């Protein structure tokens, strides 16, 4: 057996982009627009780079093995630092915060962070939309505490109902029944509406599309089918393993009556479809599905999301190679006005549109700068 190649991802995490000067940027407290007129509305915060799964499309075991060097605890943003940054982002237009990872429920006392974030308000006094993405493995035991702390809803990653397929994909032998138990616990705790995300890989779990839809139809849970994406450098992405969302919809329409639904908000990534009742109109009791088509139908034009890494790097795109180091400002004694101006300057020069460029053939996903790993920045 040949010697394995371990990619030193830690090197990637140490390279930060210089923070641009704040000349002629919007003042803290004003909404932002980037170079394409996209506002900043959604902040995704990674609270850990660790995960207890080894999904092949995210943290393949041959790279993230027991020798992998995770970030030391001192490098992570504290809950107080995260809350301070969140408050400044809110002043610039953020209305939704999603906690992610790695697996965010592995972060000790995560409920304490949620409680702090739940206490924040928008400039007009409204609470934030606070949500969390999880693999569901710890959800059954934590759902009530999360809800009590102020979490509004959860998104659960689940790639198959077939236990053999699911265990092969998570690559640690974790059973489906425990994720389903976590979803039930989240529903009972009032963490709703719940979404379930299924990453679809041709030849791996595409045969589970209809069974997944059948299982969650009428359950109050919205199922989202996500095209296998070329995030990072370690997941072995190949275009021939991407099942286009158009094919997903065709398979579903062969089994169910579906009607298209409008976007619920600007910047929404999912194309939504509702289950139709006997009258041919959407039956809300039957629910909906959605497809997220970053590969075949990019939505860069409406992207209003920023991503904050667990060590305080601000990334402007899921496919970025480097981020801006806000931790150095936090720990270097910068004022709120200085940090807010830096955020404004960073967003103001944003021009990212990787998925559009990939779709047009203007970038090759297999060459160029090595992109940040999804396990480090979250989905």
* pTM listed for this prediction: 0.91
Quote the tokens at residue 209.
């599309």
Determine, yes or no, domain membership for 13. Answer: no
CA 91, distance to chain mean position in Å, is 22
Residue-level pLDDT at 24: 52
Determine, yes or no, domain membership for 48. Answer: yes
Which DSSP letter does residue 302 get? Answer: G
Task: Look at residue 357 and give its three-state secondary structure.
Answer: helix
Cis peptide preceding 102, ω within 30 of 0? yes
Task: Look at residue 220 and give its three-state secondary structure.
Answer: coil
Determine, yes or no, domain membership for 233. Answer: yes
Determine, yes or no, domain membership for 28. Answer: no
Q: Are 218 and 289 in contact (CB under 8 A)?
A: no
Determine, yes or no, domain membership for 242. Answer: yes
Determine, yes or no, domain membership for 31. Answer: no
Determine, yes or no, domain membership for 112. Answer: yes
Determine, yes or no, domain membership for 191. Answer: yes
Residue 316 to residue 350: CA distance in whole angstroms = 7
Residue-level pLDDT at 96: 96
Provide the domain count of the chain.
Answer: 1
Q: Are 237 and 365 in contact (CB under 8 A)?
A: yes
Rounded to a whole number, what is the distance in angstroms from the first to the last CA of the chain?
34
Quote the tokens at residue 246.
């158009």
Residue 35 to residue 351: CA distance in whole angstroms = 6
- Which is nearest to 354 in space by CA: 325, 321, 324, 378? 321
| Ordered per-residue pLDDT tens for the chain, 379 residues | 333 333 444 444 556 788 887 555 555 556 789 999 999 999 999 999 999 999 888 888 988 888 889 999 999 999 999 999 999 999 999 999 999 999 999 999 999 999 999 999 999 999 999 999 999 999 999 999 999 999 999 999 999 999 999 999 999 999 999 999 999 999 999 999 999 999 999 999 999 999 999 999 999 999 999 998 777 666 667 788 899 999 999 999 999 999 999 987 776 788 999 999 999 999 999 999 999 998 888 888 899 999 999 999 999 988 888 899 999 999 999 999 999 999 999 999 999 887 877 777 777 676 666 777 777 777 6
Residue-level pLDDT at 57: 83
Q: In terms of residue numbers, what domain contains 176?
A: 40-377
Which spans in the chain are helix H?
9-13, 79-91, 110-118, 139-149, 163-170, 176-188, 209-216, 245-253, 327-331, 336-348, 354-360, 374-377
- Which is nearest to 70 in space by CA: 54, 50, 100, 46? 50
Which CATH number do you get for residue 355? 3.20.20.70
């Amino acid at each position: 057996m040949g010697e394995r190649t371990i990619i030193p991802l830690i090197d990637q995490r140490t390279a930060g982009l210089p923070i641009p000067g704040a000349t002629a940027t919007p003042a803290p407290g004003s909404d932002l627009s980037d170079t394409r007129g996209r506002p900043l509305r959604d902040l995704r915060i990674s609270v850990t780079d660790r995960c207890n799964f080894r999904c092949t499309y995210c943290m393949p075991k041959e790279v993230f093995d027991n020798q992998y060097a995770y970030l030391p605890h001192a490098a992570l943003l504290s809950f107080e630092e995260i809350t301070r940054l969140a408050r400044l982002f809110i002043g610039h237009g953020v209305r939704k915060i999603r906690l992610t990872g790695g697996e965010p429920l592995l972060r000790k006392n995560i409920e304490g962070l949620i409680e702090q974030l739940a206490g924040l308000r928008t400039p007009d006094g409204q609470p934030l939309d606070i949500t969390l993405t999880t693999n569901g493995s710890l959800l059954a035991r934590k759902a009530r505490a999360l809800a009590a702390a102020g979490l509004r809803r959860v998104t659960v990653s689940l790639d198959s109902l077939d236990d053999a397929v699911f265990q092969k994909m998570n690559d640690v032998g974790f059973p489906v029944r425990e994720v389903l138990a976590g979803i039930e616990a989240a529903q009972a705790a009032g963490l709703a509406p719940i979404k379930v995300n299924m990453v679809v890989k041709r030849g791996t779990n595409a045969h589970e599309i209809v069974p997944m839809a059948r299982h969650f139809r009428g359950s109050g849970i919205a199922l989202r089918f996500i095209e296998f994406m070329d995030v990072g450098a370690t997941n072995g992405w190949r275009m021939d393993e991407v099942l286009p969302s158009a094919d997903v919809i065709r398979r579903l329409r062969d089994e169910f009556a579906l009607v298209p639904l409008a976007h619920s908000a600007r910047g929404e990534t999912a194309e939504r479809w509702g289950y139709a009742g006997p009258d041919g109109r959407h039956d809300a009791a039957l629910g909906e599905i959605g497809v997220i088509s970053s590969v075949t139908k990019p939505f860069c034009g409406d992207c209003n999301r920023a991503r904050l890494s667990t060590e305080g790097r601000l990334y402007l795109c899921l496919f970025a190679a480097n981020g801006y180091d806000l931790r150095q400002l936090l720990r270097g004694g910068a004022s709120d006005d200085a940090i807010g101006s830096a955020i404004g300057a960073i967003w103001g020069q944003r021009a990212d549109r990787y998925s559009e460029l990939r779709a047009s053939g203007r970038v090759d996903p297999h060459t160029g700068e090595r992109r940040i790993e999804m396990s480090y920045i979250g989905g």
